[in-house]
């Protein structure tokens, strides 16, 4: 019997699974167990350990990673890279996250500004941001001197960086540099306007002022004022102006619903002014080109042809003036855009302060006529006084002269001349009125400010002048003449 069962058994022993089959089967089984785990109630702490130990390695690692580590890591990344910088954007100096804003957000943004032009743009933007923060602190009354000094230093470093960018740009592309400089200058102008009104308001309220900042901006403006802008070509400038005005028009369109009728009208008016300036610039340039053509023809033809050319040349404005118009238009547009986009600026400064209205010819005529009426009334008032001193009489004569000049200028549409003459007359009258009010008996003891004007009136040249028909050159030159010999009499 032993023999049989032994033989039988050893024969049977040869029937086994191969190692591979055995391993496969075991893996199938553990996988099955993992997908069909024990219910929660049956799991002991030991059981959990056991699950870890029995589970095949890849399962174990993957499950742990996805569930815990990865979730934690992604949440941490989210917080560090998105939420913190986002929160930091709203901070002001003194806040915990403020350094994140300045040293992380803005530095990253800086590194994205690749060209010097973008760099200048961004540094300008940073100046604006610093000042906005300072204003915010000031309105909350938290702007201490230390903080202000800090902000001023930051502004200084940003403007310096912008200047450096400009210098770099000037070497590679002078036209671009000129445009960038214009933009920078108008941004600074806006800022200083805002700061001025701010300072005035705070001084009135006795609160902390932003005077230091204003000084810093003034320094920066002085540095920019160095004229390098002439290098830009007319076409380039025109393109930039077109670009900016389109932007401004779009902005206005999008804001239409949100601003008051008054504001909309104001902005419309400024845009119209800018358009007129552009038209003026284009016009003067066109005439110039015509002139150059005619000059060529005139060389071959007779004397009469040349004279006709000269009459055309007379009203011509040269290219530099055309560019000046464009430059003004550009800066006005940029300021307007800033006004429309920046709530802070809008709250602090009126449009008029930022971009004064450029009156049209008709408007100028109207105001001049009004001024003439005013002058007439005032002269009448002074003349009706009983005792007229010698000086007053002389002054009145001078005023008459000026009025005459204004009227003449109006006829030939020399508004600039007319305006300056009218202003002189008004000033003169105001001084006379004051003299007669303060010291009616002793007019010779008048205040120094009066003297200057009266002296001007005593100028021997202008009253006796025979007044030839006002040519353009004469009319322009005249208002300056009275001031030149202002010294002699005391």
Partner 1 sequence: MSGTSKDNGALSHEERFLAAYDEYSDALFRHAQLRVSDRERAIDIVHDTFTKVWSYVRAGHEIEQFRPFLYKVLNNLIIDSYRKKRESSLDALFEKEGIDEGTFAELSESTVESLAATIDGKKAFALLEKLPDEYREVIILRFVDGLGPKEIALLIEESENTVSVRIHRGLAQLRKRIHAAEAASESKRSTKT
Using CB under 8 A, list all residues that contact partner 1: 1, 3-13, 15-17, 21-22, 25-26, 28-30, 32-33, 36, 38-39, 42-44, 46-47, 49-51, 54
Which residue, 29 or 215, has its beta carbon nearer to partner 1?
29
Which residue, 47 or 373, has its beta carbon nearer to partner 1?
47
- Minimum distance, C-beta of residue 16 to partner 1, in the bound complex (Å): 6
Which residue, 20 or 253, has its beta carbon nearer to partner 1?
20
Which residue, 29 or 397, has its beta carbon nearer to partner 1?
29
Which residue, 37 or 141, has its beta carbon nearer to partner 1?
37
What is the Cα–Cα distance from 392 to 440, expressed in whole angstroms?
11
Which residue, 6 or 230, has its beta carbon nearer to partner 1?
6
- Minimum distance, C-beta of residue 19 to partner 1, in the bound complex (Å): 11
- Cα angle 394, 395, 401; round to 5: 95
- Cα angle 189, 191, 192; round to 5: 65
Let me know: does 185 contact 327? Beta carbons within 8 Å. Answer: no
- Burial string for 29-60 (b: 16+ CB within 10 Å, else e) reads eeeeeeeeeeeeeeeeeeeeeebeeebeeeee
Element of type H or E holding 302: none
Which residue do the tokens 């949100």 mark?
Answer: 258
- Cα angle 256, 258, 264; round to 5: 50
Let me know: does 181 contact 166? Beta carbons within 8 Å. Answer: yes
- Minimum distance, C-beta of residue 72 to partner 1, in the bound complex (Å): 28
Specify burial of residue 230 (Cβ count, 10 A radius: 0-12, 13-18, 19+).
Answer: exposed
Which residue, 47 or 76, has its beta carbon nearer to partner 1?
47
- Minimum distance, C-beta of residue 87 to partner 1, in the bound complex (Å): 48
Which residue do the tokens 């004229």 mark?
Answer: 227
Which residue, 7 or 233, has its beta carbon nearer to partner 1?
7
- Minimum distance, C-beta of residue 1 to partner 1, in the bound complex (Å): 4
- Burial string for 210-219 (b: 16+ CB within 10 Å, else e) reads bebbbebbee
Which residue, 3 or 386, has its beta carbon nearer to partner 1?
3
What is the Cα–Cα distance from 381 to 373, expressed in whole angstroms?
12
Instruction: Report helix, strand and coil shares of the chain as percent, to nearest 5.
Output: 80, 0, 20
- Minimum distance, C-beta of residue 8 to partner 1, in the bound complex (Å): 4
Which residue do the tokens 């308001």 mark?
Answer: 201
- Minimum distance, C-beta of residue 59 to partner 1, in the bound complex (Å): 14
Please name the residue ranges forming H helices in 67-115: 70-78, 84-88, 98-99, 106-112
Q: Is 388 helix (H, G, I), strand (E, B) or coil?
A: coil
- Minimum distance, C-beta of residue 63 to partner 1, in the bound complex (Å): 16
What is the Cα–Cα distance from 455 to 415, expressed in whole angstroms?
25
- Minimum distance, C-beta of residue 18 to partner 1, in the bound complex (Å): 9
What is the Cα–Cα distance from 25 to 34, expressed in whole angstroms?
14
- Minimum distance, C-beta of residue 32 to partner 1, in the bound complex (Å): 5
Let me know: does 197 contact 353? Beta carbons within 8 Å. Answer: yes
- Minimum distance, C-beta of residue 20 to partner 1, in the bound complex (Å): 11
Instruction: Give the sign of the dihedral formed by CA 80, CA 82, CA 87, CA 91.
Output: positive
Which residue, 22 or 444, has its beta carbon nearer to partner 1?
22
- Residue 131 has a CB neighbour count (10 Å cut-off) of 28
Of 167, 166, 164, the C-alpha closest to 180 is 166
Q: Is 91 helix (H, G, I), strand (E, B) or coil?
A: coil
Let me know: does 183 contact 124? Beta carbons within 8 Å. Answer: yes
Which residue, 47 or 79, has its beta carbon nearer to partner 1?
47
- Minimum distance, C-beta of residue 68 to partner 1, in the bound complex (Å): 22
Which residue, 39 or 206, has its beta carbon nearer to partner 1?
39
């Amino acid at each position: 019997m032993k023999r049989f069962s032994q033989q039988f058994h050893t024969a049977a022993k040869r029937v086994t699974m191969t190692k591979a089959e055995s391993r496969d089967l075991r893996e199938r089984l553990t996988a099955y167990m993992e997908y069909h785990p024990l219910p929660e109630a049956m799991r002991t702490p030991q059981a959990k350990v056991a699950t870890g130990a029995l589970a095949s390695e890849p399962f174990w690692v993957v499950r742990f990673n996805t569930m815990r580590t990865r979730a934690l890591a992604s949440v941490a990344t989210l917080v560090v890279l998105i939420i913190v910088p986002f929160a930091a954007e709203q901070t002001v100096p003194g806040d915990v996250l403020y350094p994140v804003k300045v040293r992380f957000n803005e530095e990253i943004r800086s590194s994205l500004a690749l060209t010097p032009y973008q760099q200048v743009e961004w540094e300008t933007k940073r100046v604006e941001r610093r000042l906005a923060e300072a204003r915010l602190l000031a309105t909350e009354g938290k702007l201490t001197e230390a903080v202000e000094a800090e902000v001023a230093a930051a502004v200084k470093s940003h403007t310096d960086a912008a200047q450096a960018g400009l210098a770099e740009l000037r070497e590679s592309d002078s036209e671009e540099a000129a445009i960038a400089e214009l933009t920078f200058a108008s941004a600074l102008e806006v800022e200083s306007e805002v700061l001025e009104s701010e300072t005035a308001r705070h001084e009135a309220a006795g609160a902390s002022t932003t005077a230091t900042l204003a000084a810093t901006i003034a320094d920066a403006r002085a540095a920019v004022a160095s004229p390098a802008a002439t290098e830009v070509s007319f076409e380039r400038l025109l393109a930039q102006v077109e670009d900016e005005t389109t932007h401004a028009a779009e902005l206005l369109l999008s804001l239409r619903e949100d601003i008051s009728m008054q504001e909309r009208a104001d902005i419309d008016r400024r845009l119209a002014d800018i358009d007129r300036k552009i038209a003026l610039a284009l016009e003067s340039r066109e005439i110039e080109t015509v002139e150059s053509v005619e000059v060529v023809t005139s060389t071959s033809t007779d004397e009469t042809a040349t004279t006709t050319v000269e009459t055309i040349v007379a009203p011509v404005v040269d290219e530099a003036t055309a560019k000046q118009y464009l430059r003004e238009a550009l800066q006005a547009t940029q300021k307007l855009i800033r006004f429309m986009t920046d709530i802070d600026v809008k709250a602090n400064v009126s449009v008029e302060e930022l971009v004064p209205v450029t009156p049209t010819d008709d408007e100028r005529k109207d105001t001049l006529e009004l001024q003439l009426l005013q002058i007439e009334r005032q002269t009448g008032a002074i003349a009706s006084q009983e005792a007229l001193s010698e000086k007053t009489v002389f002054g009145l004569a001078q005023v008459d002269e000026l009025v005459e000049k204004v009227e003449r200028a109006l006829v030939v549409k020399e508004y600039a001349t007319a305006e300056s003459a009218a202003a002189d007359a008004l000033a003169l009258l105001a001084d006379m009125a004051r003299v007669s009010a303060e010291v009616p008996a002793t007019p010779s003891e008048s205040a120094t400010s009066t003297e200057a004007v009266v002296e001007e009136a005593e100028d021997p040249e202008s009253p006796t002048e025979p007044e030839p028909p006002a040519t353009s050159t004469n009319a322009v030159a005249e208002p300056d003449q009275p001031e030149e010999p202002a010294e002699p009499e005391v």
